[in-house]
Structure 1
Amino acid sequence: MKLSKAVRVAAITAVSLLALTACGTNKSADTTTTKAKTDSNVTTEGFPVVKKEITMSMMAPNMGFAEYKDMLVLKDYAKKTGINWKYNTPPQADYATKLNLAFASQDLPDVIYASGTSVMTPANETTYGKQGLIVPLEGLLKKYAPNFYKLMQEDPNIKKSITTPDGHIYSLPMIQRGATSNWYLGPMWYNGAWLKKLGVTELPKTVDEFYDLMVRFKNEDPNGNGKKDEIPYADQKDFWSRTWIMSAFGMLSNDVQNNGDKVVYNPITKNYKAYLTFMNKMYKNGLLDKNTFTQSGDQLTAKLKNSQVGFAQGYGPGFNGETTPEQNAQNPMWQPLTSSVSKKAVLPGNPRINRGNFVITKNAKSPAAALRWVDYFYTPEGATFLGQGPENGIWHYETTADGDKAKVYNKGIDASNAGEATAKITPNYGTTPPMLAGEEMKDPYANTILEKKTDDPTGDVYSKFAISETEKKIDPYVRVPYPLVYLTNDEQDLVSPIANDLKTYVQQMEAKFITGVEPLANFDKFVSTIKGMNIDQYVKVYQDAYDRWNNAK
């Protein structure tokens, strides 16, 4: 599916919303920062970034497309900057283990790159910072990372979200600003062929209208095969679509969210009961696939391809065996629904910050040079370079009929294989590099890559469709469920024993309530059980962390 990389990154970030950490202080790291300010070999603007060439070391995950040392973008950038790298790039599957061993042995590279918050967790950031293994960056940013510093000044949430309780910034993030960066995860889609068969021209706006449409999907043979084999709404066992349906009842996650300045735990609210009641009605009347909580993603995909499903969640529509951009663009994205307990449309939004992607260690020869090296990627120009590579890599310039210049893919590269070609020349594929992501390429999979000033007459129809749908149906309604926060060490100790038990219990009971295995009459008992799991303490921790984040200067 087109746009898959962009939304994959969005999903990574969304899953990380409640990442936790500990706090500490670090005098030895502060000394490193002060010393770095006097690095006379580092320039403060333009290229190269060092007056005399240096070689540094980098550890990063390898996605298996190419070795970092062979990537055209990195080779070309080394010439621009004067900084050469020795790469240690374990396969992604082994990366977390290898990085942990490096910290345990203190055999560290100068820079740790594109780890993402699932590996370079907030807890790791502050723990290693406290131990003096990584360098706090806040004192260097204004001078040596002015582009990133400017982004922080423009959006105070960035600084608030990457500053630990001890007041330090230990890593730089990926900042997402692309056309689909608000996606919390892949959206919901309607089967456009079914809508056309039933003459549906206006999509549902309330849960009641949605229910009625699902009934029509079930009973009116929209796939036209004369059989009652239609599945109005389907999902796989992870049930990712819950988040979108819950939003119709005013909830943005199945965990905590802040409503204004008050943090609530959604599963014990009346809104959550209303959600379960609606989904139980859907399941009981055959409108939700009976295998939703047990089937694999491959089993769901097979049903989608076989024209059996009318409504599903994903990074793009996959109905009826459709594969071309034109076909996929016929399947409309859903629009947010309202209900009796939530009169105003709202959707969960991605915080658009993925933390833990650029860490400078105690062994760095020049933290200032490392920051100058990465700072370029926080500009549209630098992000474009990281994402598309230099001229004559996978693209070249051609003159258009009106005399303008256009970037055109090289021979043998088009929308179908551009991702694979890109993955061989840049680390910006499947990872979360430190950069300003998305703003540089509104339509990264178009057959023609054009400068912003030029219209694109041959671009990918589906990508443009998905972007247009996002602007109309997602962007106006998003709200981040809960900000990216750090927990103190004591807070971490309090919530860790509670969190996993809560998640497991709530998801098990959700499936039981929806399928009718557990009667909804027992919802109050469910709430009582959760309250007995120290939920008040759990919410207080997140309320305190939210208050700290909200009041941060």
Structure 2
Amino acid sequence: MKKVVMPASCIALSLALILQGCSGSAGSETSEGAQGQGTVEPVGTYPLVKEKQTLKVFTKQDVNVEDYETNEFTKWYENKTNVHVDWEIVPNAAIKEKIQVKLAGGDLPDVFMSSPITDSQMVGYGSQGLFLPLNDLIEQYAPNVKKMFEKAPYLKHYLNTPDGNIYSIPNVGETYHSTMPKKMWIYKPWLDKLGLQVPTTTEELYNVLMAFKTQDPNGNGKADEIPLSGADGTNNGHNEPESFVMQSFIFFDRANYLMLDNGTVEFAADKPAYKEGLKYIRRLVQDGLLQSDAFIQDRKALTALAEDPAGSRLGAATALYWGNLTIDNGPSGRYKEYVPVPILAGPDGQRIGFDRGYAVDNGHFVITKNAKNPPLAMRWIDWFFDEENKLQEGWSDYLGQEGIAWKKPDPGVKGLDGRPAKYQTIIPFGTKNNNRWAQTAPRFQHEDFRLSQAATPDAQTEIRLLEATKNLYKPYSAHEKYVPHLYFSDEDLARFGDLQKNITTVVQDFMLKFVTGTLDIENDWPKYTKELENAGLQQYLQIIRDNYAKLEK
């Protein structure tokens, strides 16, 4: 796909238009009114206020943070800004329900931070005035956020809602390996024992799995091996088997079953290529190569196969990375023994890699109407969007304190990208501690910054994932087929939610029945397509196409 480089003047103009939103709108006036409610020191100076103020922050609990009140970064940032945080910490399992209760009851914090505010909530509650428009606040008080918009022009799809206002600041981590999350991992000790190579085509995969089933690779004399498995895909582990397999047949986005075909939004899950993919999956299940439970079991059951105390019983599995099918850094060491399988060439040689681009978590910083000093809230969050400055100051919300949680690398140490490294972790990621906020606050981690981590043994996870994605997945990227993020009007959103739910139910129900043999793919295909039409497929597509056309304009 051709890469277009915009001149700096065009980028600046685009940013100005994004921040301007709907010129003269009620949102702009509300923003100006909100700014008059509090005082803040000039941009670029600290502390943010002369007399200490309190910011009420609602956020979800990061399991790797011991105590937000006594956290070392909390204390450092309060001293720097003169802003005390009054925390409301909610467990991840209860966060969505708690947000809805807050919004419905009017008991609002000053800000929602790293809480999953949905698009529909932003559009609905933003238009009602519960969330403040951020356009003017960003323009006047958030130079780092503005720089992020310039460096990441793809964010334009996530910013302005239909009324022209920006109601949230996203969390942006340009994680290279996460752009193509539909991966497969195969157990190398079994390959080595049977003298096999990592498969590169769908037929080679079939043959390898058949060998796993019939040649006793775990050597216990029992036919107890599970050649291939997965999990139900309801978490972010990308464990669902169909998403990896379909990359050999058609562009497949399990989130919505949509794809772009020559600029037109199309539905993938009724196309002949999708049907052929189902036939291949059915063949694997029918011949005992793909565990039928792979579509419905949870990740815990999948991990139990790989981490069986008597030896792994799992030949291969689909997952974002090995830690979603084994115990990462676990005592068995099996997390090191599962190696990546490339996107497989299908029967006609096609490889159509699902590439979603950089993951953007929208709705991660929202200022509510209850905020006593909106400019202060904006200046407070803006600091988090400059990773280079954090290294210079010796403190990072994500890394922690220099000398305790991370350090500057010795001369000559290379980063993940082969260039001089900028930072080296001391406390590994995923370790519970009280020196940092981990992933609590939104931030902008540009790809160049992420790859500047020292390529030391502690960084083996990033190194392995970078190499696998670069060599085995990116060459087959079909990102041009990915339908970007879309906002909907209140009217469209009300219809779209029900339509998408109904269509998703039909696709998933029939997929499971087709691959397990409850229904015959050929004979029952007309029944499936009729159910899709009854669920509102054409209305669903029309809403998407209309809103995509607006986006393109």
Check whether TM > 0.5.
Answer: yes
Of the three residues 427, 434, 451, the one matched with 2:437 is: 427
Residues 98 and 234 of structure 1, relative CA distance in 2, 3 Å threshold: closer
Look up the match of 2:194. Answer: 198
Residues 405 and 383 of structure 1, relative CA distance in 2, 3 Å threshold: closer
Look up the match of 2:376. Answer: 369
TM norm structure 1? 0.82
Is 1:178–2:188 an aligned residue pair? Answer: no
Contact 2:399 2:438 survives alignment (8 Å)? no
Is 1:352–2:349 an aligned residue pair? Answer: no
**Distance in 2 separating the partners of 1:320 and 1:537:** 42
Partner SS for 2:221: coil
1:409 CA drift (Å): 6.5
TM norm structure 2? 0.82
**Distance in 1 separating the partners of 2:421 and 2:486:** 44
Is 1:316–2:321 an aligned residue pair? Answer: yes
Partner SS for 1:500: helix
Is 1:96–2:96 an aligned residue pair? Answer: yes
Contact 1:329 1:462 survives alignment (8 Å)? no
Look up the match of 2:499. Answer: 498
Matches within 5 A, 1:167-246: 167-184=164-181, 187-201=183-197, 203-238=198-233, 240-246=240-246
Among the aligned pairs, what percent are the same residue? 26
1:320 CA drift (Å): 8.6
**Distance in 2 separating the partners of 1:129 and 1:543:** 24
Residues 283 and 421 of structure 1, relative CA distance in 2, 3 Å threshold: closer
**Distance in 2 separating the partners of 1:292 and 1:181:** 22
Is 1:141–2:138 an aligned residue pair? Answer: yes
Matches within 5 A, 1:29-178: 29-35=27-33, 41-63=40-62, 65-116=65-116, 120-178=117-175
Look up the match of 1:389. Answer: 400
Partner SS for 1:356: coil
**Distance in 1 separating the partners of 2:547 and 2:349:** 27
**Distance in 1 separating the partners of 2:456 and 2:147:** 34
Partner SS for 1:292: helix
**Distance in 1 separating the partners of 2:326 and 2:544:** 44
The answer to which of 319-328 and 90-99 deviates more is 319-328
**Distance in 1 separating the partners of 2:387 and 2:262:** 33
Contact 1:176 1:438 survives alignment (8 Å)? yes
The answer to which of 239-248 and 503-512 deviates more is 239-248
Partner SS for 1:93: helix
Q: Give the structure, 1 or 2, with the largest relative contact order (CA under 8 Å, sep 6 or more).
A: 1
Of the three residues 269, 272, 296, the one matched with 1:270 is: 272
1:523 CA drift (Å): 1.2
Residues 466 and 325 of structure 1, relative CA distance in 2, 3 Å threshold: farther
Is 1:336–2:348 an aligned residue pair? Answer: no
Partner SS for 1:112: strand
**Distance in 2 separating the partners of 1:345 and 1:278:** 16
Look up the match of 2:5. Answer: none
Q: Which ranges of structure 2 fall in alignment gaps of 5 or more residues? A: 1-21, 234-238, 414-419
1:482 CA drift (Å): 2.1
Look up the match of 2:490. Answer: 489
The answer to which of 253-262 and 129-138 deviates more is 253-262
Residues 495 and 372 of structure 1, relative CA distance in 2, 3 Å threshold: same
The answer to which of 32-41 and 499-508 deviates more is 32-41
Look up the match of 2:387. Answer: 380
Aligned-partner residue type, residue 297 of structure 1? R
1:296 CA drift (Å): 3.7
Contact 1:383 1:440 survives alignment (8 Å)? no
Residues 351 and 523 of structure 1, relative CA distance in 2, 3 Å threshold: farther
Partner SS for 2:497: helix
**Distance in 1 separating the partners of 2:389 and 2:76:** 12
Residues 181 and 75 of structure 1, relative CA distance in 2, 3 Å threshold: farther
1:493 CA drift (Å): 2.6
Aligned-partner residue type, residue 343 of structure 2? P
Partner SS for 1:234: coil
Residues 467 and 162 of structure 1, relative CA distance in 2, 3 Å threshold: same
Contact 1:182 1:350 survives alignment (8 Å)? yes
**Distance in 2 separating the partners of 1:312 and 1:99:** 35
Look up the match of 1:8. Answer: none
**Distance in 1 separating the partners of 2:184 and 2:224:** 21
Residues 93 and 220 of structure 1, relative CA distance in 2, 3 Å threshold: closer
Residues 488 and 550 of structure 1, relative CA distance in 2, 3 Å threshold: same
1:198 CA drift (Å): 2.5
Matches within 5 A, 1:295-314: 295-306=297-308, 307-314=312-319
1:363 CA drift (Å): 2.2
**Distance in 1 separating the partners of 2:360 and 2:202:** 31
CA RMSD of aligned residues (A): 3.2
Partner SS for 1:205: coil
**Distance in 2 separating the partners of 1:262 and 1:409:** 45
Aligned-partner residue type, residue 443 of structure 2? M
Residues 183 and 251 of structure 1, relative CA distance in 2, 3 Å threshold: closer
1:170 CA drift (Å): 0.2
Partner SS for 2:69: helix
Residues 491 and 342 of structure 1, relative CA distance in 2, 3 Å threshold: farther
**Distance in 2 separating the partners of 1:25 and 1:495:** 28
The answer to which of 384-393 and 324-333 deviates more is 324-333
Contact 2:61 2:92 survives alignment (8 Å)? yes
Partner SS for 1:79: helix
The answer to which of 463-472 and 355-364 deviates more is 463-472
Deviations 1:465-504 (A, max 9, x none): 2222122223343427321111112212322332222222
Contact 2:259 2:482 survives alignment (8 Å)? yes
1:87 CA drift (Å): 1.8
Partner SS for 1:348: coil
**Distance in 1 separating the partners of 2:455 and 2:537:** 53
Matches within 5 A, 1:506-517: 506-517=507-518
Deviations 1:156-190 (A, max 9, x none): 220222221111110001111134331436x3101
Aligned-partner residue type, residue 308 of structure 1? R
**Distance in 2 separating the partners of 1:161 and 1:405:** 31
Deviations 1:37-67 (A, max 9, x none): 5666332225333455432221112246434
Contact 2:200 2:341 survives alignment (8 Å)? no
Partner SS for 2:61: coil
Contact 1:137 1:171 survives alignment (8 Å)? yes
1:31 CA drift (Å): 2.4
Q: How many residues align?
A: 506
Deviations 1:436-475 (A, max 9, x none): 14748748xxxxxxx75xx544434344222221222233
Is 1:461–2:460 an aligned residue pair? Answer: yes
**Distance in 1 separating the partners of 2:120 and 2:28:** 19
Partner SS for 2:269: helix
Q: Which ranges of structure 1 fall in alignment gaps of 5 or more residues? A: 1-23, 444-450
Residues 47 and 178 of structure 1, relative CA distance in 2, 3 Å threshold: farther
1:109 CA drift (Å): 2.0
Deviations 1:23-44 (A, max 9, x none): x999654323124556663322
Residues 207 and 33 of structure 1, relative CA distance in 2, 3 Å threshold: same
